[in-house]
Amino acid sequence: MPELFIGGTWTAAAGGRKREIRCPADGALVASVDEAGPEDASAAVAAARDAYDSGPWPRTPAAERGELLLRTADLLERDKAEFARAESLDTGKRLVESAYDMDDVAKCFRWFGHLVAAGGHDRVVDTAPPDVDSRVVHEPVGVCSLITPWNYPLLQTSWKVAPALGAGNTFVLKPSELTPHTAVMLMRRLTEAGLPEGAANLVLGAGGVVGVPLTEDPRVDMVSFTGGLVTGRRIMAAAAPTVKKVALELGGKNPNVVFSDAAFEAAVDYAATAVFLHSGQVCSAGARLLVQEELHDAFVAEVVEQAESIRLGGPFDENARAGPLISAEHLEKVEAYVEAGLAEGAVLRCGGSRPGDPELADGFYYLPTVLDECTPDMTVVRDESFGPVLTVERFRDEEEAVALANDTVYGLAGAVWTGDPARADRVASRMRAGTVWINDFHPYVPQAEWGGMKQSGFGRELGPAGLAEYLEAKHIWRNLSPSPQRWFA
């Protein structure tokens, strides 16, 4: 069965090309999938445009659109094991983590399903004169290009697909070329749930080839993208000539600020998960540890001990606690960041190399790494390495902690650890980030908005704003008793 899904039909790539998908844990071939070209992207946009302009989906009552999302959530729960396995083979991620992700995917569809079905977004403007009926209605934006990355393939897809469909849009999805399988599976479940033809379209392939036309095509109204900063800038520029609506989530260099009065054991534990979860390939990873001077030595020693105890392994190794990086290129990039950090004066406390274990030699593994005595000007502190690399900086007081935390072009997430609630609130309110955790790291819920400030992007996913992103407000003013105004009389 071919893997491109265009206008309700499973289609092979027009150019007949295929791409091999290999598991990053051991290089084993997962499958060969269709590799789309610009002509396939164009056909998918045409199908989405047609489905928007003349198909039933945008005109389906919100309650029914919500029901479809709820049915999709049921199907995702039914097939969770199959989805988790496919996601793990594509990403190399531990099966247990993929299973958690699939739970979150279903929850995302369920939450948006209820939100959409509840309705209530339109409103009457009751300050209009009595002989006027004035109301604000919300309409779908139109045709959306949804472009997603490889670190949480289906989860990040669900944050876009569920609200886009819930709002009545049609879309073309382009998942990362490295991790296409769960997107293919999702299209089948949307069809099974009863989504009309052409509302959901899928193209697979390289960003530079099949992603670009999705961001330039004049028939596309909106682009929602999650990925790297450099690609985000390109997408913004590509969308500019046709003034598309754009939403971007571009990762972060997230500070984890630990004061000396923090709950020590919990703060250490979370500092390690903040950065080493999924080998650091998390947009909200706590990759910059800022520790108060007097706590520094004891704290770093404990974090290093935790880092050294993390067992690496493939998705089905039940003893493993972290997996490989996504690709050979990405592994080389992470290595280069660590080398740059050392060259610029950082002190290596642990890791700093690929593991010696021959069993891991075929995968893209990198040891959990702690770089101490870092300073804000170092490349490894400034750029998102997106690997298992923790940089440690010291601070003296609250003022310096806030200044260091905000000394980044990014603003996605951050955390503050302290036993002083007033200080926690002060730091949280001064941190320029879309999400701030106090005495915690990483939790999110579909009810709360997610997204970045500064160069982490704009627009919000999840929460009511995550649905509003895919809606246009329209004011309709009906004069109930028109009579000449005689302005020029």
What 3-state DSSP class applies to 325? Answer: coil
Which sign does the torsion angle of CA 358, 359, 360, 361 carry? positive
How far is Cα 42 from Cα 232, in angstroms, rounded to an integer?
Answer: 21
Q: Determine contact, residues 289/259, Cβ cutoff 8 Å.
A: no
Burial of 168 (0-12, 13-18, 19+ CB in 10 A): buried
If the CB atoms of residues 117 and 238 are measured against ligand TXE, the closer one turns out to be: 238
Residues that bind ligand TXE (CB under 6 A): 147-151, 174, 176-177, 206-208, 211-212, 215, 226-228, 231, 234-235, 249-251, 283, 384, 386
Rg of the chain in Å (alpha carbons): 24
Minimum distance between the CB of residue 250 and ligand TXE, rounded to whole angstroms?
5
CA 166 – CA 190 distance, rounded (Å): 12
Query: 321 to each of 93, 95, 325, 368, how far by Cα in Å?
Result: 10, 11, 13, 11
| Of residues 250 and 267, the one with the C-beta less far from ligand TXE | 250
Report the DSSP beta bridge partners of residue 254. none
What token pair was written down for 472?
A: 């246009």
The CB-of-55 to ligand TXE minimum distance in angstroms stands at 25
Q: State the nearest-atom distance from the C-beta of 204 to ligand TXE, in Å.
A: 10
Closer to ligand TXE by Cβ: residue 113 or 452: 452
The one catalytic residue in 3, 249, 384, 393 is 249
Q: Which is nearer to ligand TXE, 40 or 249 (CB)?
A: 249
Q: Which amino acid is at 196?
A: P
Structure tokens at 75: 């199907």
How far apart are CB 248 and ligand TXE at their closest, in Å?
9
Q: Is 400 helix (H, G, I), strand (E, B) or coil?
A: helix
Q: What is the spatial distance between Cα 336 and Cα 343, in angstroms, rounded to a whole number? A: 10
Give me the least distance between CB of 274 and ligand TXE, in Å please. 15
Nearer to ligand TXE by Cβ, of 207 and 368: the residue is 207
Query: In the chain, helix, strand, coil percent, each to 5?
Result: 40, 20, 40
Phi-psi bin for 280: left (phi > 0), alpha (psi -120 to 50), beta? left
Can you name the residues that pair with 222 across neighbouring β-strands?
144, 245
Q: Determine whether 15 is exposed, middle or buried from the number of CB atoms within 10 Å of its CB (0-12, 13-18, 19+).
A: middle
- Between the alpha carbon of residue 397 and those of residues 169, 259, 291, 401, the distances in Å are 49, 8, 10, 6
HEC profile of 266-279 = HHHHHHHHHHHHHH
Smallest distance, Å, CB 405 to ligand TXE?
Answer: 19
**CB 99, CB 91: distance < 8 Å:** no
Tokens of 62: 């919100």
CB 249 within 8 A of CB 226: yes
The helix or strand, by DSSP H or E, that contains position 304, with its residue range, turns out to be: helix 296-308
DSSP-based three-state secondary structure for 115: helix
CB of 88 to ligand TXE, least distance (A): 18
**Smallest distance from ligand TXE to CB 328, Å:** 13
**CA separation for the pair 179, 169 (Å, rounded):** 24
User: In a 3-state reduction of DSSP, which class is residue 416?
Assistant: strand
Q: How far is the CB of 151 from ligand TXE (least distance, A)?
A: 5
- Shortest CA distance to 448 belongs to which of 409, 473, 410, 413? 413
Comparing CB distances to ligand TXE, the nearer of 189 and 234 is 234
Catalytic residue at 249?
Answer: yes
**Minimum distance, C-beta of residue 92 to ligand TXE, in the bound complex (Å):** 14
- Annotated active-site positions, please? 249
